[in-house]
Amino acid sequence: MTPEAASIASEKLCRLAPIIPVLVVDDAAHAAPLARALVKGGLPVLEVTLRTPAALDVIREMATVEGGVVGAGTLLTPADVKAAVDAGAKFGVSPGATDRILSACEEADLPLLPGTATASEAMALLERGYTVQKFFPAEANGGAAALKAIGAPIPQVRFCPTGGVSMKNARDYLGLSNVICCGGSWVAPKDMVLAGDWEGITALAAEAAALPRS
């Protein structure tokens, strides 16, 4: 998969909903009901971060949920990419971008949202062919104001800001012309997951899915 093809695939996924849930799941038993709750609420694109021992099993379980598109976040190495693909991930997300990660995803035909934090990083990814990128960590890097400023001279790139995005500030990001969607964890709070409050999570997802985009 070329970077250009990866960007086209990523853009299609990002346009499915204004928010991509960023999920840290400790127990694979929660995977399917959590995915069903989020999809029911209108958030079909699900990023499972590879931050827990259960993450790959979570991806396998979520991959069986009708209407959902599950991907792997926190891709750091080519081994992560292979494991994610083998588990059923349909896209990948990385906190930053290295040649090894980019090449591994391209060779595996895995659409990637590569992470960027600066104008130079965004330019380097654009030079390689990536026109859809993750802006991370969004709030720590100056928030919507910084992303607006970066976007002015690099209008070719669309971003998915992630990191510190919440229901309170999501509208600030989604109102920018260079933002295609946002990544956020608030739609699946750990306490609600542990309590099995799937109806509550569906309600949070529906609220997020209704957010307007520019």
- At what angle are helices 3-14 and 99-107 packed, to 10 degrees? 80
**Residue among 104, 131, 100 nearest 12 (CA):** 131
Catalytic site includes residue 199: no
According to DSSP, the residues that pair with 161 across neighbouring strands are 135
Active-site residue identified among 61, 90, 106, 134: 134
Q: How far apart are CA 112 and CA 118, in angstroms?
A: 18
Catalytic site includes residue 12: no
Active-site residue identified among 40, 47, 66, 190: 47
Q: How far apart are CA 7 and CA 184, in angstroms?
A: 20
Please report, in angstroms and rounded to a whole number, the separation of the first and last CA atoms in the chain: 29
H-run or E-run covering 92:
strand 92-93
Catalytically active residues are 47, 134
